[in-house]
Amino acid sequence: MEQVLSHAFEEGGIDVAKEKYIELRKKYYGGFTYNFQENRLILVADKLVSSGNTDAGLAILKLNLDYFPQSAFTFYSLGEIYAIDKKDDLAIEQFKKSLALNPNNPRAKRRIEQLSKKEH
């Protein structure tokens, strides 16, 4: 999945990559051709962010929320991207959503504390 979406992104940008995922999911979901688990798009987003494409990473994570709206890890990942972009208020909001879904996440708690200290 990561390779297919990375190739689609390279060929046509984020909209093409998102369309490709939606197309593949409609056609192959429930089969064994592609892995449509929650973490697949998170991995794609991480790769995009690592290569400097934070906007594309955000778009992929938001797409992931369309299919996994209760994904604590997706909200956590969104928070990290917003923190990279120095959008601390948005980052804290995402970390709080992650924490609401998974109260036992010490990393989300720590990130909220770190970013809250920066604001003061």
- Domains of the chain are 1-68 (no CATH), 70-120 (1.25.40.10)
Overall pTM surpassing 0.85 (yes/no): yes
Q: How far is CA 100 from CA 23, 40, 54, in A?
A: 32, 22, 24
9-66 tens-digit pLDDT: 999 999 999 999 999 999 999 888 888 999 999 999 999 999 999 999 999 999 999 9
pLDDT at 119: 60
pLDDT at 1: 86
pLDDT at 70: 97
